[in-house]
A and B are shown apart, each in its own frame.
Chain A
Amino acid sequence: MEALGWVRCRLAPLALAAVLSFAPPAPLAAEVANPIDPASIYVLAVASCLPWRPKIKICAPDIVKFLDTAKEVMGVSADHITTLVDENATAPAVRAAFAKLKDSLPQGSTLIVYYIGHGMLVPARSDGGDETEEALILWSASSPFAAIHAVHSGMWMTGSELSGLINELPAKDILVILDTCNASGADDEIAPKPARFASKEIALISSSRAHEIAFADLTSAAFTRNLLAAIRSKPPTLYEAFLTAQKETSAEAAIRCEAAATSGAIDEACTPQDPELFDPLGLTKRIELRDE
């Protein structure tokens, strides 16, 4: 391996010189078309680790990691960030945060909504076509007695409610990142296919397909960990970072499956996790990644 590295190091300058002598000078990095100005990016970060699901305590640390990355690599200003964590991440608090953003976001700005926590598919209340939709299990001190009660009483937030809140904002570009079980269950509500005809550009990054479990370890959610590592490797845009995180997260699920099969362990650990991107207008290809 070292020998191969030596050959690469020794031959690369010669090859480069040969290419440069015949080809016109090219830009060093691919240029991003119509990039989003980092100064126009705002973030609403919501993390809901539930006291009645005590195994997962990754919400607060993952929010810190996400926001550090957003500031350092995406150039988001610290005073453009709203954070709601655990007991502050109740559904009324999230609605209040959206109401505040509705009054304060500049016209034409970009909003990134990041949610990490639990999610569940519930019967759809809208006529969107799907029989189910994703509900974000926002914070409550105790477990609701049934999921549909949590939805209908406003304790949780469905994808269709989140979509309604997003569409009231003056922001032009909105990226929603959901790291939760069944995350793609919100695709029809948040990033519907006719979006290309709407006045807003909305994209959804989901950590898992509908009916899939999103996994976490004791330190971080798997998809968030992979996404942030990919962002910090500084590919040109968030789009390439997502592709890397998608591949890594799916590979981890396959490894979990193999380990479970070998040890005869719990079946739950042997389920795929396939992150998806719903980005009809290429919003993620306009978010550049670089040092602040």
Chain B
Amino acid sequence: MIEAMFAVLMLSTPAPNISIPVEMGPGDLPLGTFCRIQDVCVIAQTEADCGKISGKTFTTLDACTNAVPAAATQQEK
């Protein structure tokens, strides 16, 4: 009888807080990349997106020094 009570008590012990961890980061948010389109610097989600000009324009060129050139056809837009 005592053993049975002990077993029940053990089972009813609440799990420690660490049992359901969640991380304090941005999840699946992409880092993004800079694209250079002539004299305009654009931020896109991926290098592939540079050719689509799906990013938003950014007004200074400092961050665009090593940017991926956007597709030539898109530069005319």
Contact residues of A with B, CB < 8 Å? 53, 55-56, 117-120, 122-123, 125, 137, 143-149, 152-153, 179-182, 213-222, 225, 252, 255-256, 259, 268-269
Q: Note all chain A residues with C-beta closer than 8 A to B18.
A: 215, 217, 222, 252, 255-256
Contact residues of B with A, CB < 8 Å? 17-27, 29-34, 43-45, 55-56, 58, 63
For A55, give its contact among B17, B22, B58 (CB under 8 Å): B22
The CB with the most chain B CB atoms within 10 A, among A147, A182, A214, is that of: A147
Q: A53 contacts B58, CB within 8 Å?
A: no
List 26 A-B pairs, Cβ < 8 Å. A117-B24, A118-B24, A119-B25, A120-B25, A120-B26, A123-B31, A145-B56, A146-B33, A146-B43, A148-B31, A148-B63, A149-B55, A152-B58, A180-B24, A182-B25, A213-B25, A215-B22, A215-B24, A216-B22, A216-B23, A217-B18, A217-B22, A222-B21, A225-B17, A256-B21, A269-B21
Q: A217 contacts B17, CB within 8 Å?
A: yes
Q: Which 10 A-B pairs have the closest CB atoms?
A: A146-B32, A181-B25, A217-B17, A148-B32, A213-B23, A215-B21, A149-B43, A214-B24, A55-B22, A120-B26
Bound CA span A225–B24, Å: 14
Shortest distance from the beta carbon of B68 to any chain A beta carbon, whole Å: 13
Chain B residue with Cβ nearest A56: B22
Query: In the complex where A122-B31, A152-B58, A181-B23 touch, is A220 in contact with B17 (Cβ < 8 A)?
Result: yes
Q: Note all chain B residues with C-beta closer than 8 A to A152.
A: 43, 58, 63
Query: In the complex where A125-B63, A152-B63 touch, is A145 in contact with B45 (Cβ < 8 A)?
Result: yes
Shortest distance from the beta carbon of B2 to any chain A beta carbon, whole Å: 19
Chain B residue with Cβ nearest A117: B24
Q: Note all chain B residues with C-beta closer than 8 A to A216.
A: 21-24
Bound CA span A135–B44, Å: 19
Q: A214 contacts B33, CB within 8 Å?
A: no
Chain A residue with Cβ nearest B44: A146
Shortest distance from the beta carbon of A238 to any chain B beta carbon, whole Å: 22
Q: A118 contacts B33, CB within 8 Å?
A: no
Q: Note all chain A residues with C-beta closer than 8 A to B23.
A: 181, 213-216, 268
Shortest distance from the beta carbon of A116 to any chain B beta carbon, whole Å: 8
Q: Note all chain A residues with C-beta closer than 8 A to B34.
A: 148
Q: Note all chain A residues with C-beta closer than 8 A to B45.
A: 145-146
Shortest distance from the beta carbon of A55 to any chain B beta carbon, whole Å: 5
Q: A56 contacts B24, CB within 8 Å?
A: yes
Bound CA span A143–B21, Å: 22
Q: Note all chain B residues with C-beta closer than 8 A to A119.
A: 24-25
Bound CA span A214–B23, Å: 6
Q: Note all chain A residues with C-beta closer than 8 A to B55.
A: 145-146, 149
